Amino acid sequence: MVIVSLSLPQNLLDDLDSIQKSGGFGNRSDTIRAAVKLLAAEERQMRSIAGRISAVLLLVHDEEDEQAFAEARHSFEDVIKTLIHNQLKNGKCLEIFMLEGEAGKINDLIQACRKSKKADYLKLVVA
Cα gap 13→20, rounded to integer Å: 10
In total, how many domains does the chain have?
2
**Is there a contact between 109 and 76 (Cβ–Cβ < 8 Å)?**
yes
pLDDT band at 67 (very low <50, low <70, confident <90, very high): confident
Residue 93 vs residues 65, 84, 118, 123: alpha-carbon distances, Å: 9, 10, 12, 14
The verdict on 56 and 37 lying in the same domain is no
Q: Would you tell me how many other CB atoms lie within 10 Å of the CB of residue 107?
A: 15
pLDDT at residue 20 in the model: 94
Identify whether 3 is part of a domain: no
pLDDT tens digits, 2-28: 999 999 999 999 999 999 999 999 999
pLDDT at residue 46 in the model: 79
Identify whether 26 is part of a domain: yes
Give percent of the chain above pLDDT 90.
74
Residue 104 vs residues 28, 35, 52, 55, 97: alpha-carbon distances, Å: 35, 25, 9, 13, 16
The domain containing residue 91 runs over which residues?
50-126
For the question of whether the overall pTM of this predicted structure is more than 0.85, the answer is: no
